[in-house]
Structure 1
Amino acid sequence: MSLAQFVPPTTTIVYAPAAAGSPTAVPTLSEWGLIALAAVMVFAAIRALRRGTGGRLLSLAIVAAASLAGTQWTARPAMAVPAFTLSNAAGGTATWLGDGEIGVLNTTGVAQKIISVGLTGTGMLRPTEGSPRCVAGLVVNAGQQCYVNVAMPL
């Protein structure tokens, strides 16, 4: 009886410069926009409270949401430390040996499109906690990162 030989997982990402007119990030509210939104929500909660007993639950929900909206801009999400980079502006291959969730940082100065994500050895690609997940077709803007999660079987 022979045992299968363990081969450490190797993740390979092939990338190339993104074509002009590639998708860009979706704009979101700035920290001041979130503060203004929170202030409007607090004002709405006060109005709902003054209208009578039917608005108490609604006003509490609005105050809770306003509290969260006003504090989200100060929270820094936990991010995986970039384990390897997309470093060639002309495109290329980035390879990483190991397991766990890793960030792939685009340091080229130009947007890069992920062509493929491959895995060799003993391991499997799993869903990531970080977003976005590195998948074929994803455009990673300069200075941004995507994530890969490699798990070894038990």
Structure 2
Amino acid sequence: MIRLSQEHLQTIRAHAESTYPDECCGIILGYLASEGKTVVEVMPTENAWNTEAAAEFSGERTTESKRRQYAIAPEIMLKMQKEARDRSLNIIGIFHSHPDISAIPSECDRLYAWQGYSYIIVTVQNGKAGELQSWSLDDRHQFQTEAIENIKSDLV
């Protein structure tokens, strides 16, 4: 389960709408506990997807663009890991959007995903954020839906 406030959800939706028709992305900071993850902050980032870099990383050429892929720059991930550690937090997930398609992870989403993280996907239809779902990887590296619980901001 991932617990987050209405303000966190609004930040994700606003970022998704602002980058449409491209995918947005961002980092989710919070706490890990036995009952699930609690979000403290969502950090919108630039979509650093680069077709040439992806080809070097995977060994395959792809015609996919920022409209169907996302990447968070490694230096941003490293900076956020350090910031999270300094604040006694963890990176507990990643969010991104799916422009004009459902909030179901793609095969590319699965291949690049890390176990232990939550992956929040928001669909954006014609520039308007809609359905939002959270996913996590199981032991077989397959996505499973993850419950989302809304919390009040003052609890975080």
Q: TM-score, normalised by structure 2?
A: 0.26
Q: Which structure has the greater CA radius of gyration?
A: 1
Q: Could you say which structure has the higher strand fraction?
A: 2
